[in-house]
Amino acid sequence: MNRKYYRIVRTKANQKRLVLILSLFIGLVSGLAAVLLKNTVHYTNYLITHGFDFTQGNYLYLAFPLVGIGLTILFSKYIARDDIGHGVSRILYALSRKKGRLEPHNMYSSMIGSTFTIAFGGSMGLEAPIVLTGSSIGSYLGRRFHLSYKTIMILVGAGATGAIAGIFKAPIAAVVFSLEVLMLDLTMVTLIPLLISAATAATVSYLFLGNGVLFSFDFVQQFKVGHLVYYAGLGVFTGMISIYFTKTTLLVETKMGLLHKKWQRWLLGGLLLGLLIYVFPSLYGEGYEFMHQLINQRTDGLINESLFGDINSIYWLSLFLLLILVFKVVAMAVTGGSGGVGGIFAPSLFMGAVSGVLYSKILETFPFLHNVPEKSLALVGMAGVMAGVMHAPLTGVFLIAEFTGGYELFTPLIITSVISYLTIMIFEPHGIYTKRLAKRGELMTHHKDRNVLQMMSVEKLIERNFKTVNREGNLGDLVRIISESERNVIAVVDEENNFYGVVFVNDIRNIIFKPELYEKTLVEDVMFMPETFVSPDDSMESVAQRFQESGNFNIPVIDDGKYIGFVSRARIFSNYRRLLKEFSDE
C-alpha cells in the first residue's frame, strides 16, 4: 500500500477510531508473539535438555550457555546486523531521541535471540524481548500510517502493554507498566488504547495457554495487622537487595564491555555462566520453576540438585539462599554482558522470591516471633525487588496481586513496594532501565517541557548565515562584511576557522561611518569573547539554561575550537512550540 492510500484512510476515518483499531490489532499480534515465544523457549529447552539430569553431574550444562550465547551473537551480527539487547532501554531511547522509531527487525530479532540465549541456560527473562517486539510492532504501524509522534508513542506503549499482558496474563499490571516505566501520560487518550491492547493480548494468552497464571497457589496465609512490621522490614530488605542488583549489574556489564573483542566477552561470559549453573542449577534460564517450588516450600529437591547435597539446618538453608541471591545477579549480568539477549524482569522476580524466603528464615531464628508468613513474604518480596530495581512500585503491586488471583495481599504489597522504592531512592535516583539514559541526558520523563527539549538537537538548529571576519583584519574589512550581512553579529576567526570571538554591530555603530579609522582600528580592538558558547553535542536543555543565564539572543556553536555557526533564542523557541503542539494530546 502506498502513501496516498494511507492519506485517504486518515481523511475518511476518524483518527481516534484508527488508533483504537490499531491497538486491538497490536494486542492481538503481541499476545500471539508472547505465546509463541514462551512455547518456543519451552520446547527448545526440552529438546536440548531431555534425558539430562543435574543430579548426575552432567557436564554438558557447562557448555550449554556458551552455545546459546554464541548462536545469539552470530544471529545478531550476520542476520539482524544490530545490537538486539537491552529491550526496555532501547524503547525508552527511541521514545526520547528517535520520535518512537524502532527498527523493523526488532519485531522478530529479539524473540529469536532470546530463544537461543534463555533456552540454552542464559539467566535472564523473556519479558524485555517480547516487550521490544510488541513496541516495535506499534512503532512500525504508527509510521506506516504516518501518524503523529504523540500517537506513535501511544502505539509503542500499546505494544509493550500487550506483550506484558500476554506473557503474564496480567492486563492491569501491563497497563501500569507502560504508564510507570515507559512514562506515558495518564490521560484517557493514552489509557483506552492500552486497555484495549492489554485485554486483547491477555485473552489470546488464555485461549492458547489455558486459564492458569504463571504463579497459582492453593493457599496464601491470611493477612494479619500484626504482621505489618514484617512487611515493613521486608521493604527495607528488598530495597537493599535492589541496590545490590542494580549496581552489580551495571558494574559487571561495564567491566565486560572493557573487553573490546566480542569473542573474548562470549568466551568469558559463557564459561563463567556455565560454571555458575553447574554449581547452582536454579540459575538456569528464567528460574520460574525454582521460584514456584521455593514459594510452595518444596526446596529439598532443588538444593539436592546443587553440589551442596542435603541441607537440613535452617542456617545452612539461609546460607544457600544468600549465595543464590549473590550469584543470580552475576549470572544475569554476564549473560547480557557476553552478548546474550534477555531482560531483568524475571530475574527481579526471582531475586524477590528468594529474598522473601531468606527474610522469613531470618525471622524464624528469633524464638519470640511466631507464625511467620513465609509464603506471603516470598510473594510480597517479588513486588519489593521489582519496585526497587525498576523504580516501579505500582507494577510490582498489581503484578503479584494478579498472580495470586486476588487482593488479599494488597496492603502488604503496597507497604513493602513503597518502602523498597524509598530505600533505593536514597542511593540510586534512577531505575536500572533508565540510569544510563539519564546519565547521557536522553531520558524521557513525565515533564512535557523537558521531553520536548530532549527531542531537539543543536545540530539541526545551527544557523550558518552569520558572516565571519579574519582576526587580523581591520575596521575597513569589517565594514565591508557588515554591508553584506543580514545579521548584527559577526564571528571572528582565523584562516583555519578557529574561533576567537564576536563583534556586535551595535557596539561599533559610532565608528563604522568614520573612514579615517578604517586602517587604524583593528578587528581585535573591537571584538570580545562571549561568556558562553555551545557544542553541537550539547543537550538542548543545557543550551536553554545558558540562554537563560546569559540573556543573549544568539550563542556561538564551537566544535573543538572551530567555529560552526550560531543558535538563536528565536529559532529554538519557534521549534519548541511546534514540537510541543505535536507532542500534546490532539
Tens of pLDDT, residue by residue over 349-391, are 999 999 999 999 898 888 777 778 888 899 999 999 999 999 9
Say how far apart CA 23 and CA 192 lie, in whole Å.
9
Mean pLDDT of the 93-112 span: 86
Please, which pLDDT band fits residue 1 given cuts at 50, 70 and 90? very low
- Say whether pLDDT at 17 is over 60: yes
Return the CATH class of domain 3-209.
Answer: mainly alpha
Condensed to tens digits (0 to 9), the pLDDT of residues 398-433 reads 998 887 766 778 889 999 999 999 999 999 888 887
Nine-digit cell string for 353: 522470591
Specify the pLDDT at position 112.
92
Phi (first) and psi of residue 354, to 5 degrees: -65, -40
Specify the pLDDT at position 36.
93
- Say whether pLDDT at 13 is over 90: no
Task: With residue 470 as reference, give the H or E element that holds it.
Answer: strand 468-470
Specify the pLDDT at position 3.
53
- Count Cα atoms within 13 angstroms, Cβ side, for 226: 6
Mean pLDDT of the 310-334 span: 84
Specify the pLDDT at position 233.
94
Mean pLDDT of the 84-89 span: 79
Specify the pLDDT at position 54.
53
Specify the pLDDT at position 424.
94
Specify the pLDDT at position 243.
95
- Say whether pLDDT at 152 is over 70: yes
Mean pLDDT of the 127-155 span: 90
Alpha helices in 210-313, H assignment, sequence order: 228-257, 262-279, 288-295, 300-305
Domain boundaries for CATH 1.10.3080.10 within the chain: 3-209, 225-451
What whole-number percentage of the chain has pLDDT above 90? Answer: 32
Mean per-residue pLDDT of the chain: 84
Q: Are strands 554-559 and 499-504 parallel, antiparallel or unpaired?
A: unpaired
Residues in the chain: 586
**pTM for this model (two decimals):** 0.79
Q: Which one of 25-29, 59-63, 286-290, 362-366 scores highest in mean pLDDT?
A: 25-29
Mean pLDDT of the 518-535 span: 86
Please count the helices (runs of H) and the strands (runs of E) in the chain: 25, 5
Beta bridge partners of 539: 457
Condensed to tens digits (0 to 9), the pLDDT of residues 477-524 reads 888 888 888 888 888 988 888 998 888 888 888 888 888 888 888 888
- Say whether pLDDT at 334 is over 90: yes
Type of residue numbered 240: M
Domain boundaries for CATH 3.10.580.10 within the chain: 455-583
Specify the pLDDT at position 12.
44
Q: Which residue has the higher pLDDT, 53 or 35?
A: 35
* C-alpha dist (Å) from residue 521 to 421, 467, 493, 526: 65, 19, 17, 8
* C-alpha dist (Å) from residue 493 to 459, 467, 498, 532, 564: 20, 10, 5, 17, 11
455-583 has which CATH code?
Answer: 3.10.580.10
What whole-number percentage of the chain has pLDDT above 70? Answer: 87
Specify the pLDDT at position 586.
47
Give the torsion through C-alpha atoms of 234, 239, 240, 244, to 10 deg.
130
List the one residue out of 72, 73, 78 whose CA is nearest residue 44.
72
Question: Which CATH fold would you assign to the domain 225-451?
Answer: Clc chloride channel (1.10.3080)
Please, which pLDDT band fits residue 244 given cuts at 50, 70 and 90? very high
Say how far apart CA 144 and CA 122 lie, in whole Å.
35
Specify the pLDDT at position 198.
95
250 burial class (0-12, 13-18, 19+ CB within 10 angstroms)?
middle
- Say whether pLDDT at 213 is over 60: no
Beta bridge partners of 566: 463, 556
Nine-digit cell string for 428: 540510586
Specify the pLDDT at position 34.
92
Q: What is the DSSP string of 507-568?
A: GGTTTTT-GGGTTTSBHHHH-B--S--B-TTSBHHHHHHHHHHH--SEEEEEETTEEEEEEE
Say how far apart CA 549 and CA 386 lie, in whole Å.
40
Condensed to tens digits (0 to 9), the pLDDT of residues 178-196 reads 888 887 777 788 899 999 9
